[in-house]
Structure 1
Amino acid sequence: MTSQVFAGQALLPEGWARDVVIGFDAAGTIARVETGAEQAPGMERVEIMVPALSNLHSHAFQRAMAGLAEVAGPSADSFWTWRDRMYRCVGSMTPDDIETVALYLQIELLKGGFGHLVEFHYQHHSGTGVPYANPAETSLRQFEAARQSGIGLTQLPVFYAQSDFGGLPPVAGQRPFLHDVDGYLRLMETVRARAAEDGQLAGCAIHSLRAATPEQMRAILAELPEEAPIHIHVAEQMREVEASIAWSGRRPVEWLLDEMPVDARWCLIHATHLTDSEVTRMAQSGAVAGLCPATEANLGDGIFEARDFLAQGGRFGVGTDSHVATSVAEELRLLEYSQRLRDRARNCLAAGEGSSTGRRLLGGALAGGHQAAGIAKAGLQVGAAASWLVMDHEHPFVGTASGDTLIDRWIFALGDQAIRDVIVRGKKVIENRRHALDEEIAPRFAEVLRKIQA
C-alpha cells in the first residue's frame, strides 16, 4: 500500500516544483513523484518540502563533552590538548551512558535537518580497555539509539591499533579504542548483521594513518564487501602532516592516494591541509571530502580548500564530528563563511553568476553525504528514501520566500527555526519541532553530563 503527501512546493533533483505528490511504500521508499498534481481528498498537505541530509561524520559520545574544553590551559591549547580531555571523557562512560548520549544527539540532529547519520564509532571497550562480555556492546547501543530516535544510520566500526606513524604502541587513553585485525573483522561481521536486521547500513572506518599500519589497512580492505563505504581521518592537523612526511616522505593525502585504492567508496574526513596537487588528485578520485566546519573551527584545524576542490568537480558532504553544533544550516554556513574570511570575498561557493550559494551548498552536501553513507539515491526521487524536512511556512523568513531564496534564508538567516517537521523513511519523527522522547531523554542526558563533569 502506498501513502501519499502533497507539497505546495518541493525541491526535487531537477529543481523546484509546485503541486507535488510524493507516494511511498511501507518500507519508506519513494514509489511515485508527480508534479503539477492535484491534492486528493484526505491527502496530507505540506507547503514546503526539502530533502533531509545525511550527516557523514559523528562521534556521538563527544556531544557529552561539548563546552568542557573551552578554558585555556597553562600552555598553548591545540587539538592535542583537546584530545587529552576527550580521553578522560571516554574513560568514564558506561554502555548505558553511551546509548543515552547517542539517543539525545540523534534527536538533536533530526531537529537540525539530518535524516541519516554516519557514526564513526571507536569507543569500543571499557575505560581500562577491557572488552565487554559482548565485544560489540557499544556498537549495538548505537543501533538501539537509532531504533528509538528514528534516524537512519550507517555505522562504521573503527579500527584503531597504534598511536602514531610507524606503528608506535598506543597510549593509555587509547585503550578503549583498540583492536587487532582479527578482532576488528569479527566486530564488523556483527555490526553488518545487526544493520541488516534493522534495515540500516554498515561500512568500515580506519581511524587515521596514525592509528593503523599499511599492512593492517590492506588486510582489512581485503575483507570488505564491495559496496561498503570506507572512511578515514586524514590531514586534519599540520603536526600530522609533518609526522607523515618524516615517516614516509609524503604528506598524508598524497600517501593515501598513492598507496590505497581510493575511489568513490571513500570519504576522507577533514583533509584540511592539502597542496594544489592533492586537491586535484582527491577531486579526480571520486572520494567525498568529509567536512565538519564547526568542529574544525572549534579545534583550530584550519580551512579546507573548498573553493578549488569544488571548481575541479570535487564531492563533499558535512558532518558534525564532535557536535559543538548539530545542524545542517550551521555547518553549511560556516563552510561558506570560512572561505569568505580566508579570501575576503562573498558567495565563494556559488556555482556562478546569478546562482544561489545556499542551493549549491545544500545540493552538494546532499549528494556527497548520501554517497559517503552508502546510500544509492539522494533527494526526492523514485527509489530514494522518503526522508524530508517540512519547512515552517508560517515563519516570515520562510513564508515570504520561494525557491532558492528559501534555502538561502534557512542557511544564512534563520537556521533550525526554519524546520517544523522531519520525516525519515515515511515516518514523522519530529512534529512541530518536538520528538516523542524529548521529556524522557533530557533528564537521562543530564545525569550523564553531571557524571562527566564531576
Structure 2
Amino acid sequence: MTVIHAKQALTPLGWQDNVAVHVDAAGRIAAVGPQDGAADCAVDLLLPAAVNLHSHAFQRAMSGLTEMRGPDPSDSFWTWRRLMYRYLDRLTPDDIEAIAAQVFLEMLEAGYAGVAEFHYLHHDVGGKAYGNPGELSERIVAAAEGVGIGLTLLPVLYQWGGCDARPLQGGQQRFGTTPEQYLRLHEAATRAVSAGPADYVIGAAPHSLRAVDEAGMSAVRRLGGPMHMHLAEQVAEVEEVLAHKGARPTQWLLDNHDVDARWCLIHCTQMTADETRALAATGAVAGLCPITESSLGDGIFNGVDYLGHQGRIGFGSDSNVHIAYFDELKTLEYSQRLRDRSRAALATAAQSTGRVLVEAAALGGAQAAGRAGGAIAAGQWADLVGVSTDNAWLCNRKGDTVLDSLVFGGHGQACVQDVWSAGRHVVKDGQHAKRAETAARFQSVVERLGQDI
C-alpha cells in the first residue's frame, strides 16, 4: 500500500484538508481519509488527473513546421493536411514508436495520467500492409507502457477520401482499410492492448462522416468499448456532409445513430444552437482540443450553451503542436470570452471557472477513455497529480482560487510535481525518469526526417 498525504485535495465531496490517499498494489485508490501515520509521498495540492482524450501522436514531430503560407492565397486546415500527408511518407515503425514515447512522456509531465490515442496510421508507405496487421498498434502500446501512461487505444476506420467515396490518395493510403480489414486489424490491436497493463482499454473510432460509409459504421458499432469520431470540425466538412447526406454532420449523426455516453465526438466547433443542446442531452462527451482548434482555425465550440445544458466535455491535445493541459482549459475559456465579450464565461454561481474546467476535464476524460477514474475516490484508478503551491505563482492559495491560478496564471505546468497513472508514480519532482533518453531518441528521429516536408 502506498500512502499519499495532501495538504488539500479536490474530492467528490469538495475540498478537503490534510487528506491521506491509500493506493493498493493494483494501482487503485483503496481509501481516502484524514491523515494518520506516515506517508510515502507528501504534496501541497492533490487533484484527479485527466485523460488526454484525443491524440495523433505522430503529428508531434511536425510541431513548428507548418506555420508558413501554403500555395493557396488563404491558408487553411486543408493546406495543413496536405503537408501532414507528405510527412507520412517518411515515418517507419521505429520512428512512430519514438515519437509516441516523447508525446506520452510530455503528457505525463503536463499532468495527464492517460491518453486516448486516435490511431489511424496502420500501414506502410503507399498503403502496403505490414505482415503483422497490429504492427503499429503494438508500437503505440510499447511507447505508452515504456513511459507508464494509461492508454485507451482507438484503432481508426478510414475508408474514403470524402463523402463521394473517392479513393484515398498519397499519405491517406497509410490509413485506409475496408470494414473487413479493419475488423482484423482491431483484433490485432486488442491483443496488443490485452498484453499491456490492467488499466489499458481498447475502443474503436470511425474517423468521420466524410471517411466512413454506413457499412463501415455498422462494422464499428458492433465492437465494444469507447467510440470516438471527428464531428463538425470545419465549415467545408459541414457543407460536404450537407450536400451528400441532406443534413449537417451533428444532426445527421443524431438522427441516424444511437449516440449515448459511450461516444466521444471530437471538436464539434461547427454546431447550431439546436445541435449543441441535442448533443448535450445524449450524455456523450464533446472532445475539445482548443490549442489545435486555434492552430488550425477550426472555430469556437459553444461551451457556454453546452455546459449550460449539462453537456459533458473533456480535453485532448490532438496534433500535439503544444502539450499543455492547463493551457487547453484556459484556451477554451478565453475563446468564449472573446466571442461573447464576457468574463468568467464558464463559471457558475457555486464554482469558479478553474474549478468547473478541472472537474469537467477529469470526469469527461475518464468517461471518454472508458477508464475508471476522474475522481479521488475509493475503487478508482489512482490517476493523480500532485501540485506544488509554495511558489511565487500559487502563493499557497487554497480552494477554487488555486485552480484559477493554475489555469490562468500561465505557470500551471511548472507547478506539477508528481503524477500517478493507475498508481504508477511516473513523474517525481516535476520530471519523468526517462526524459533524457526519450528526448534524445525523438530528436534523432526528427533531425533525420528533416524540416523540408
C-alpha deviation, 1:48, in angstroms: 1.5
C-alpha deviation, 1:111, in angstroms: 0.9
- Name the amino acid aligned to 2:329: L
Structure 2: gaps of 5 or more residues: none
| Distance in 2 of aligned mates of 1:189 and 1:31 | 33
Matches within 5 A, 1:223-234: 224-225=223-224, 228-234=225-231
C-alpha deviation, 1:43, in angstroms: 4.5
C-alpha deviation, 1:332, in angstroms: 0.1
- Name the amino acid aligned to 2:122: H
Equivalent residue number for residue 206 of structure 1: 206
Does residue 178 of structure 1 match 2:176? yes
343, 361, 367: which is aligned to 2:363? 367
Q: 1:80 to 1:43 in 2, by over 3 A?
A: closer
86, 103, 118: which is aligned to 1:88? 86
| Distance in 2 of aligned mates of 1:434 and 1:65 | 24
Q: 1:422 to 1:394 in 2, by over 3 A?
A: same
Equivalent residue number for residue 445 of structure 2: 448
Equivalent residue number for residue 438 of structure 1: 435
| Distance in 2 of aligned mates of 1:44 and 1:318 | 28
Does residue 418 of structure 1 match 2:441? no
Q: 1:157 to 1:146 in 2, by over 3 A?
A: same
| Distance in 2 of aligned mates of 1:420 and 1:5 | 13
Contact 2:110–2:323 (8 Å) recurs in 1: yes
Q: Percent identity?
A: 45
Matches within 5 A, 1:252-331: 252-331=249-328
C-alpha deviation, 1:393, in angstroms: 2.8
Contact 1:114–1:327 (8 Å) recurs in 2: no
Q: SS in structure 1 opposite 2:46?
A: strand
| Distance in 2 of aligned mates of 1:377 and 1:410 | 21
329, 341, 344: which is aligned to 1:344? 341
Equivalent residue number for residue 191 of structure 1: 189
Contact 1:92–1:452 (8 Å) recurs in 2: no
Q: SS in structure 1 opposite 2:328?
A: helix
Residues 79-88 or 3-12, more deviating: 3-12
Contact 1:292–1:319 (8 Å) recurs in 2: yes
Equivalent residue number for residue 427 of structure 1: 424
Equivalent residue number for residue 14 of structure 1: 13
Q: 1:273 to 1:41 in 2, by over 3 A?
A: closer
C-alpha deviation, 1:66, in angstroms: 0.9
| Distance in 2 of aligned mates of 1:347 and 1:57 | 26
Structure 1: gaps of 5 or more residues: none
Contact 1:325–1:331 (8 Å) recurs in 2: no
Residues 313-322 or 209-218, more deviating: 209-218
Contact 2:49–2:374 (8 Å) recurs in 1: no
Alignment size in residue pairs: 447
Q: SS in structure 1 opposite 2:258?
A: coil
Equivalent residue number for residue 128 of structure 1: 126
Equivalent residue number for residue 158 of structure 2: 160
TM-score (norm 2): 0.96
Equivalent residue number for residue 65 of structure 2: 68
Contact 2:179–2:215 (8 Å) recurs in 1: no
Contact 2:390–2:396 (8 Å) recurs in 1: no
Contact 2:5–2:39 (8 Å) recurs in 1: no
Contact 2:163–2:240 (8 Å) recurs in 1: yes
Q: SS in structure 1 opposite 2:31?
A: strand
Contact 1:160–1:179 (8 Å) recurs in 2: yes
Does residue 251 of structure 1 match 2:248? yes
| Distance in 1 of aligned mates of 2:432 and 2:351 | 35
105, 128, 143: which is aligned to 2:141? 143
C-alpha deviation, 1:42, in angstroms: 5.4
